[in-house]
Amino acid sequence: MNADLHCHSCHSDGVLSPAALAARAAANGVELWSLTDHDNLGGLDEAREQARALGMRFIDGVEISVTWHGTTIHVVGLGIDPRHAPLEQGLASVRSGRDERALRMADALEALGVRDAYANAMRHAGNPSLVGRSHFARVLVEQGYAPDVHAVFRDYLVRGRPGYIEHQWTALEQAVAWIRGAGGVAVVAHPGRYRISGDQLLRLLGDFRDAGGQAIEVVSGSHGEAEVRHFARLARDFGFYASRASDFHAPDESPIDLGRGAHLPAGVEPVWHAPELGSRAACPA
């Protein structure tokens, strides 16, 4: 199945509307699609409606920001009920700290000479309550500090670089509880992106499983062939379902387009076989 179960719209740090993302996914042959904006559910109704109109199967999703032992981790929730009050309230609590972080990040970047960092980041943000690193990255590219957003993240917006701001997100256990309480499957997003050791990754996956997490992104826009094989082995070792995703944000920024990732390797159980997702994955939206 051509499934793409992680991407972003202008409701978080993507650039396309949910309807435009749906059209792009359908044009690329995606059969099962999920919109997983950061810490909010605002684009799901539009995405679901357009997916239905295009004949795609759709799964409601979200990506939750987590702090685990001082490291920011992202957990995707698939098959969630977007009207589940504890999830909505939890995401609101996560969003409440985002604007403070954005203002501190703007101050740090302006100290480097970036002009009107916050105002310009807001210009890129479709959702003013969700100004994030990608919006600032686009500003730095515009002002000539880096050739593309990937270089900005490498040189300015990761730990140890001048634009990085420490922030305490929600706990891993809490994020998984919100997802499971809303009827969904919790997935560790893009594990190849985290700057942690191999032993720390094993500890993270163990803590995630103990909290009720059920899946890991084996295929991601951040993973090369060797990483796909590695995370397939870890999925088998931990008894996780395997997810397939592009983590698409924008046509000129994302290394993989919607639906264009590698196929899941043999020997893993696709996340769309999870009972929580089975009916939605098997039936047209």
Coil/strand/helix, residue 206: helix
How many Å apart are CA 263 and CA 37, to the nearest integer? 23
Residue tagged 């720390």 (tokens): 200
Q: What is the pLDDT of residue 103?
A: 87
Q: Which residue has the tokens 């600032």?
A: 136
Element (H, E) at 125: none
pTM, whole model, 2 decimals?
A: 0.84
Q: What is the pLDDT of residue 283?
A: 47
What does the alpha-carbon distance between residue 106 and residue 139 come to, in Å, rounded to a whole number?
Answer: 11
Determine contact, residues 61/6, Cβ cutoff 8 Å.
yes
Stretches in the chain below the pLDDT threshold 70: 279-285
Q: Which two tokens stand for residue 200?
A: 């720390």
In sequence order, what are the beta bridge partners of 219?
A: 244
Chain segment 47-73, per-residue pLDDT in tens: 999 999 999 999 999 999 999 999 999
Q: What is the pLDDT of residue 122?
A: 86
Tell me, what's the pLDDT at 167? 80
Residue 103 structure tokens: 């203002």
Give the pairing type, strands 3-4 and 57-68. unpaired
Q: How far is 134 from 62, CA to CA, in rounded Å? A: 17
- For residue range 247-264, list pLDDT tens digits in order: 999 998 888 999 999 999
> Tell me, what DSSP letter sits at residue 171?
E
